[in-house]
């Protein structure tokens, strides 16, 4: 079963979320979270940090990722690990795989005409909010 990850990167103030505009299928033209494949033999968290750096330039020194949830898609023979983190400082993001941008959180992330993932992005944002997983301790 192929593993993938999805990375929810919040700015330090927790009022913006890093998104990308997909340049290719699936979901071409829709907004999505960054992420990618988990390679054979690679741990989920190592893959999350690797993909984050490859797609955005954000490193382990900039953010602590927390494992939020998983989705298993039996019919597609794959699973998705969801990680969330809050940047420790302002960083310049850059990547050429997709167009990166910061979205405010006052959007309808359940709108499937604008966002990839069949409404999952909205669900994940609500889970972060309700769980308090990224609040200062």
Delimit the domains of the chain by residue range: 2-131
pLDDT given at position 95: 85
CATH architecture of structural domain 2-131? Alpha-Beta Complex (3.90)
Query: Of 93, 96, 92, 126, which is closest to residue 108 (Cα–Cα)?
Result: 126
pLDDT given at position 44: 98
pLDDT given at position 135: 82
Other beta carbons within 10 angstroms of residue 97's beta carbon come to: 15
What are the phi and psi torsion angles at 129 (to 5°)? -60, -50
In the chain, pLDDT over 70 holds for what percent of residues? 99
H or E stretch at 18: strand 16-21
pLDDT given at position 85: 97
Q: Average pLDDT over the chain, rounded to whole?
A: 95
The answer on pLDDT for 136 being more than 80 is: no
The tokens of 60 are what?
A: 């382990």
Cα-based torsion angle of the residue sequence 27, 40, 120, 93 in order, rounded to the nearest 10 degrees: -70
The tokens of 23 are what?
A: 């340049």
pLDDT in tens, 18-63: 999 999 898 999 999 999 999 999 999 999 999 999 999 999 999 9
Q: Are 40 and 124 in contact (CB under 8 A)?
A: no
Across the range 94-114, mean pLDDT stands at: 94
pLDDT given at position 124: 97
Question: What are the CB-based long-range contacts (under 8 Å, 24+) for 70-77?
Answer: 71/120, 72/1, 77/1, 77/2
The answer on pLDDT for 137 being more than 80 is: no
pLDDT given at position 107: 96
């Amino acid at each position: 079963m192929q593993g993938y990850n999805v990375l929810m990167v919040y700015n330090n103030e927790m009022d913006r979320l890093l998104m990308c505009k997909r340049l290719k299928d699936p979901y071409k033209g829709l907004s999505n979270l960054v992420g990618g494949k988990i390679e054979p033999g690679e741990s989920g968290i190592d893959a999350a940090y690797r993909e984050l750096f490859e797609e955005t330039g954000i490193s382990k020194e900039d953010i602590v990722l927390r494992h939020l949830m998983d989705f298993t898609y039996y019919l597609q023979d794959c699973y998705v690990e969801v990680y969330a983190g809050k940047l420790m400082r302002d960083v310049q993001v850059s990547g050429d795989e997709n167009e990166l941008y910061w979205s405010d959180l006052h959007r309808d992330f359940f709108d499937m005409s604008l966002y990839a993932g069949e409404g999952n992005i909205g669900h994940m944002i609500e889970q972060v909010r309700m769980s308090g997983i990224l609040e200062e301790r």
